Amino acid sequence: MAHDVTTTGTGNTELVRVATSESRFARYGLIGTALCFVALFLVLPLAAVFTEAMRNGPGEFLTVLSDPETFAAIELTLLVAVIAVPLNLVFGIAAAWAIAKFEFKGKAFLTTLIDLPFSVSPVISGLVFVLLFGSHSLLGPWLQSHGIQILFAVPGIVLATVFVTFPFVARELIPLMQEQGTSDEEAALSLGASGWQTFWYVTLPNIKWGLLYGVLLCNARAMGEFGAVSVVSGHIRGLTNTMPLQVEILYNEYNFVAAFAVATLLALLALVTLVLKSLLEMKYSEQIAASRRH
């Protein structure tokens, strides 16, 4: 046993445990409990999704995915992510930059505001937009008379997604940027760099790993968001259904193979995100550690 220290005294061997280790019983008990938990709540459901999707063979799996409505849902999900993630990338950097590097009145309030989408139920986030843009709202009649459709259309879905995924990038960056302080930027400025050069050559490289991580999480959520999107989408088949909404519809129609096939794609997205994240962390662990050190 690596953690046991053997002392040979008067001939009989006595085992003295290292202070921070536990008895064999406790160790295996704890490890077993954790493994059971992971198997029951993570591995098993995931496996079920994949087996259900493949129940009738890979041929059918591909057929249901090429269904026009399902295909439209995949397209819409990608479109929403392509718009929402870059927007939140820019908002997130701007917000984190402001909060971490400057002192101003209402900073605590702004920090709280950024957390708001995390603290309210996604359904409420969706309802906010219904109240704002719906036909009985203040803006509704004006939008209608100008022929602008926000609710039950792509703009509404994008807005709701942006709202729900707003905190990811900012939350990831704020502590990192606060820890790094402002002296790197001051050094660059003192050497004659403009504000933009300082941001591009100094600030951005210092936060790139945190930023990438935030973007990955933001993207995963943007593609997987259900609650808020469900409220504003209107569930118009082939038009305003994203992948999570499509899964629900198919499931409710007892079309299990198709439902699980789409679910597989979403689950794959999650797995790919996790693998990417781990790969990044493995490959650049030194740089990541260095960017957190000062």
Which residue in 106, 147, 124, 194 sits closest to 203, CA to CA? 194
Which positions from 264 through 293 interact with other proteins, judged by CB under 8 A? 286-287, 290-291, 293
The verdict on 105 binding other proteins (CB under 8 A) reads no
Give the nearer residue to other proteins in terms of CB position, either 82 or 204.
204
Which positions from 156 through 185 interact with other proteins, judged by CB under 8 A? 183-184
Give the nearer residue to other proteins in terms of CB position, either 45 or 205.
205
Radius of gyration of the chain (CA): 25
Q: Where are the beta strands (DSSP E) in 138-289?
A: none
Least distance between other proteins and beta carbon 71 (Å): 42
Q: By CB under 8 A, name the one of 54, 110, 193, 280 that touches other proteins.
A: 193
Q: Which amino acid is at 170?
A: A
Give the nearer residue to other proteins in terms of CB position, either 39 or 187.
187
Q: By CB under 8 A, name the one of 2, 6, 192, 254 that touches other proteins.
A: 192
Cβ–Cβ under 8 Å, residues 184 and 249: no
Which residue in 246, 250, 271, 277 sits closest to 46, CA to CA? 271
Give the nearer residue to other proteins in terms of CB position, either 98 or 189.
189
Q: Where are the beta strands (DSSP E) in 13-95?
A: 13-17
Least distance between other proteins and beta carbon 77 (Å): 34
Tokens 């843009």 — which residue?
A: 133
Tokens 């493995």 — which residue?
A: 282
Least distance between other proteins and beta carbon 2 (Å): 31
Q: How far is CA 63 from CA 35, 54, 71, 111, in A?
A: 36, 12, 11, 47
The verdict on 191 binding other proteins (CB under 8 A) reads yes
- Cα 19-20-21 angle, rounded to 5 deg: 100
The verdict on 241 binding other proteins (CB under 8 A) reads no
Give the nearer residue to other proteins in terms of CB position, either 136 or 293.
293
Collapsed DSSP state (helix, strand, coil) of residue 130? helix
The count of chain residues that interact with other proteins, using the rule CB under 8 A, is 22
Residue ranges binding other proteins (CB under 8 A): 183-184, 186-194, 197, 201-202, 205-206, 286-287, 290-291, 293-294
